[in-house]
Chains A and B, each alone.
Chain A
Amino acid sequence: MFLELKTTPVKNWSLGLVALTSLSLVSISCEKEDDNNTPAPTPTFGTMTVEFEHVYGGDAFVVPSATFVNGSGESVSFNKFNYYVTNLKLTKADGSVWSEEESYHLVKVGANASVEIDIENVPSGDYKAIEFTIGVDSLRNVSGAQTGALSPAEQMFWSWNSGYIFLKAEGQETGGQAFTYHIGGFRNSNGTNALQTLNFAFGTQTATVSPNATPVLHHVVDVAEFFDGHQALSVLNSPTVVMPGAMAVMISENYHHMFSFDHVHN
């Protein structure tokens, strides 16, 4: 068995003391565990499904997409629409908050307008609100090679200016102008923080998780807001935004408005 040391700051340890401590840790790790305690009442867990139903105005949105008109009067269609949903938190009726561990999910809109994320090992209980972030927190942007949804092989990572692409939208305007929007940026220091955190309360509804019940939190994602949620984004005026900066922050404020909570299916 290999123990990974936590690199919490340790001061004034001699080499000998550190070595001795590590050996004692290893010896503990090699002992068989006795398991003769009376088990406490076992907490139970279930699954919560978070659903994102993509629309453009009143129409279903799939990728590759149909042609839609944006607020600037441009006819546009999409070949790609991916984004990160991360750091999910669920609030119970009693106000306590449960946070998903390793909470990194990559939504890639494809032939189905609805994308579902299953959140596993949620403690049983009645939930009243959800929080999540569109993007990847600053710590993971600076923590080296990641895996799973954060694998840089997903091509949602800038190598030349290290950091995750939070949302990637690509397509074209019917006149032939291609658009490429790779939106990210996590630094407050130079005004490029494009992280968007959303909170939704379920109102009068409750999502009840148990080993036998998997509620679905149904969100609607209106991609029309990507162009016009906060300020008008014109494909012809600004066809390419592929680095952190003021334009990326503006577009992130637009897509913040794409998300709305609709209802709970219990």
Chain B
Amino acid sequence: MNRYGSPRALLALMPMLWVGACSPDPEASVARQAAFRLPVHFPAPVYDFKGNQPTEARVALGRKLFFEPELSRDGTVSCADCHRQYGGFSDPYHDLSHGVDNLLGTRNSPALSNLAWYPHFMWDGGAIHIETMSIAPITNPVEMDETLWRVVHKLNHRPDYRAAVQAAYGEDTLTDQRMLQALAQFMAVLISDQSPYDRYLNGKTEALTVDQQAGLALFRRDCASCHAEPLTTDFSFKRNGLAGPVNDEGRQLISLKPEDKGRFKVPNLRNVALSPPYMHNGRLSDLSQVIDHYSETIGPEADAPLSVGGFHYTPEEKNQLLEFLNALTDEAFVENPLFANPD
């Protein structure tokens, strides 16, 4: 395998090779580093950009939409309100998502990164495509509570959107398909691959401290069977033995299988130190509590390889794990000006 990953993944980048062939054409604009790329140590992405070839102008439109409060019914909530860049594109302020009229959702707003590698989205995996995923928060009555038709209608009255859509598509009319595809392009370029952990994986052993390396060894022993490297998740659904009533069926809502009751997606851990609170319902407020849970309080409902009680870490091991989790923070990602509000 070459450094760009599989040949299939390479095909996704083909528009870059055709620059200017028969221009002018908006499809021909170049996808540079600000756009989609394949980290050398990642597997092939899931999203193949079929029918939605990445261009700078489309990523730019998607970015504008991501920060656009008019996606909500009353113009108060944008995607970025629950997915803040400094929080690893999560909401570090709330245990449950907050929508229009300060309505509360039922689950914690997840951190976003490396979404082109996701086979499904949401805590229960119910959304199965990066292009249609964003319909869920836009139309959910306790999130943005808006219709696609109305969003498109509102934005087509805005000269700034007319110009952005013209640049992206060569015509100035936004459609729901263009909106969803542009949002997908921006989400797909939110690639986090510059953390100390990534530098370590790419051969710079000094990128991790001695404690962090010891934490990585513990992580590989006890956690990586679900938080699979390098994406830090295998996208499976698990019960982690957190105590408390099961008032959210989790994966069972989608699979309809009784054994999936209370199972939730194994979360991506990149930028996890920036994205409290933790677990599907935001019950744990800091990483020490998370480590304490896996060390001591795993309940009987937990899926293998977790077992009742936990891993019984020493204080030193807990510190090593915490230090390792801090090494998943990607400063270049959370400070990248190309991912910030464009206005």
Contacts and interface: CB of A to CB of B under 8 A. Distances in A.
A212 interface: no
Contacts of B175: 147, 151
A85 B8 CA distance: 34
B18 A7 contact: no
A12 B22 contact: no
Contacts of B256: 190-192, 244-245
Contacts of B139: 159
A7 B22 contact: no
Contact of B10 (A1, A15, A26, A153): A15
B340 interface: no
Contacts of B8: 7, 9-10
Interface stretch (A35-43, A114-122, A138-146, A173-181): A138-146
Interface in A1-50: 1-5, 7, 9-15, 18-19, 22-23, 26-27, 29-30
Contacts of A157: 132, 135
Given A145-B177, A159-B127, A159-B132, A26 B148 contact: no
Interface residues on B, range: 35 or more
Task: Summarize B's interface: helix, strand, loop or mixed.
Answer: helix
Contact of A10 (B7, B12, B25, B132): B7
A155 interface: yes
B128 A190 contact: no
Which of B48, B133, B253, B256 has the largest number of chain A CB atoms within 10 A? B256
Interface in A63-92: none
Interface of B: 2, 4, 7-8, 10-12, 14-15, 17-18, 21-22, 25, 27-28, 48, 50-53, 122, 126-133, 135-136, 138-140, 147-149, 152, 175-177, 180-181, 184, 253-257
Interface of A: 1-5, 7, 9-15, 18-19, 22-23, 26-27, 29-30, 142-147, 151-153, 155, 157, 159-162, 190-192, 244-245
17 contacts: A1-B25, A4-B53, A7-B11, A7-B48, A18-B7, A22-B14, A23-B21, A144-B50, A153-B176, A155-B147, A159-B138, A159-B140, A160-B122, A160-B126, A160-B140, A190-B256, A191-B256
